Every structure is written in structure tokens, then in C-alpha cells.
Amino acid sequence: MIFNSKQPITLLILLGPTGVGKTDISLKVAEIIPEIEIISADSMQIYKYLDIGTAKPDKNILKRIKHHLIDIIEPDETFDVVQYSDLARKIILDIFQRNKKPMLVGGSGLYISSLIEPLFSGPGKDIILRRFLEETAKKYGNEYLYAQLSKLDPDSASRIKKNDLKRIIRALEVYKITGQPISHLQIQKKGLNENSKLGFKYKIIGLIRKRENLYQRINLRVDKMIEKGFIEEVDSLRKKGYEKNLNSMQGLGYKEINKYLDNEIDKETAIYLIKRNTRHYAKRQITWFNNKIKSIEWIVLDENDEKKVVDRIIKIIQEIYFNF
């Protein structure tokens, strides 16, 4: 296929809840169109050594089909959505400049949203101030801090729930550091930093299944993860010195396996909790996509065979990337 340089620049996004089958579909598409390079939008696949529990494609696939933003940091390193957004934008533009075609694939709604809408990162953290506010909340209750926020920044207070201590503290922290309400800074950011938007159009395909089928797939996938050595993977990470309180080790599945390894729960309970919590997470993902991301073309995988779905995505790729 020949790249048409006159076509508008558009990014293809393939999203859906965990366990729906995004990876399999994206790999089949990439096998047919070799110009495709896949950019992961998964907040756990960024970590090295966390392979089974994050359902990464195996090493042979990663060698054969170009993937980005997988295995980029150590399990004890920090990484946030601002870093993801910056890296992903650079990668997307680089792919276009090399005359390849990017396909963003994943289920981390915040990561995906960060590429569609501008981010507001605000000023840096003030650890001492934050600890003071946390102690104040413990002593006087969340309502006390919320009352302060209502006086200083009523706009933000109207959008933050009284029990959302994390956001209350962040809003107060920004006000104490900058002398301005966070709501005012967000408005300024939106008006002045339009370049923080992705800079091109996007086409979003959402993959979905009927709830009972999705949940059955999740349960089976967890069983397969255990069979492939998920417990051993977590044990190996612990032996390498990665502590259970790390963000990476608190991820879905890893937290439950850590509890099992600490003899807090038995193996059967750990597996049950992983399945249950993964189902709950999938439900939250679907809600996020429907509420936060607009213009998704949903494809119900139960109602379409795999070839039909792959053909539909290939047709979209031909339209947006090859102009036919």
C-alpha cells in the first residue's frame, strides 16, 4: 500500500474492556497490514517483568509486530498519565514521519482520554503541605477540608465530592502553591495550551461483548494465567526485591496473588477475587468509555465473526491511512 501524503492525519484507536479480545484482533490486523505499528494504552503493560498478569503479547509476537510503550519502566519506577501522554504523542508523530501507521490499542481510559483532550498537570507536589492536609483530615474530618475548599475555590468544590479526599487535597495544594484556584488554572490551560491536544483527528473503534460472555472470557483468562505461572511470576518479582506495596504490585491480580503468598488468603480465594475484581474493573471501563469518550463506533463481537471485525477495521485503515 502506498501512503498518500495529502490525506488528513488521523489516529486509529481500538479500545474495549479487559478480556474482550482487543489484542487478538489488533494482531490479526497488523499481520495483514505490515505498515501498522501498535501503541499500547495499558497502564500495567508499561512495567518490565509483569507479563502473565498483564496479558502482554509473547516475546515472539513483539519481535514480529512493532509495539510501543510496553516494558518501558522497572516495576519500582513511577509513571503517570502526563508522562504517558507526552511519550505517546512523540511516538505517534514519529510513526507518521516514518510513513508507518499507528494504531492505539488498550483499555486504560485515562491514557486514551489524555490523547484526545488536553491534560492539566498543575504545579508540582508539596509533600510537606500534602501531609499536613492529610493529618488535618484525620483530625477534623474530610468535611473540614471541603469547607475550606468551598471558600477558596467554590467552582472546584461544586465538582468534587465531599468524600473525595485525594482531589480535595490536590485542589487545596494547588491553591496554597499558586495563590489561584485550580479551576481558574484549568480554564487558562485549556485556552492557552491548545497544542497539548493530539493535533490530528481520530477514529475510535470500541470492541464489546454481551456481559455474560465477557465475564466468562475473563474467568477463563484468569484460569489460563494461573496455569501459565502467574503465581510464580509474582513470587519471582518479590524475590527480585520488588515489594508488594509498589504501584505495579498493587495492580489487578498482583495484589491478590501477593495476599496469597503472604498466607492472608488461600489459593482458591485469590483466584476467585482476581476473577471478581477483573469483572468489576471491566464494568468500570465500559462506564468510563461511554461517559468520557465520544464518537466510539462499537462493534459487538458476539454478533460478528472475527473475520468480519478484522475486515471492518482494515477498511477503516484503508480509508484514513491510504485514502481508498
How far from 285 is each of 27, 103, 208, 215, 274, CA to CA, in Å?
A: 22, 20, 11, 13, 16
Q: Which of 243, 244, 240 is nearest to 253 (CA)?
A: 244
CATH, domain range 127-194: 1.10.20.140
d(CA 109, CA 127): 28
Residue 2 pLDDT greater than 70, yes or no: no
Q: Model confidence over 267-276: pLDDT tens digits?
A: 999 999 999 9
Cβ neighbours of residue 33 closer than 8 Å, sequence gap 6 or more: 1, 101, 314, 317
- Report the SS3 class of residue 22: helix
Q: Model confidence over 50-62: pLDDT tens digits?
A: 999 999 999 999 9
d(CA 89, CA 85): 6
Confidence of residue 4 (pLDDT cuts 50, 70, 90): very low
| pLDDT value of position 183 | 65
The reply to whether 10-117+197-321 and 127-194 are identical in fold is no
d(CA 115, CA 85): 6
The C-alpha cell at 175 is: 491553591
Residue 234 pLDDT greater than 70, yes or no: yes
| pLDDT value of position 156 | 82
Q: Model confidence over 77-134: pLDDT tens digits?
A: 988 887 898 899 999 999 999 999 999 999 999 899 888 875 555 556 678 888 889 8
The superfamily (CATH) of domain 10-117+197-321 is P-loop containing nucleotide triphosphate hydrolases (3.40.50.300)
| pLDDT value of position 119 | 56
Mean pLDDT of 25-51: 97
- Report the SS3 class of residue 148: helix
| pLDDT value of position 121 | 54
Residue 190 pLDDT greater than 90, yes or no: no
pLDDT, the chain, mean:
89
Question: Is 176:126 a contact under the CB 8 Å cutoff?
Answer: yes
286 versus 201: the higher-pLDDT residue is: 286
| pLDDT value of position 279 | 97
| pLDDT value of position 1 | 38
Name the least confident of 28-32, 146-150, 199-203. 199-203
Residue 157 pLDDT greater than 80, yes or no: yes
Domain boundaries, the chain: 10-117+197-321, 127-194
Residue 196 pLDDT greater than 50, yes or no: no
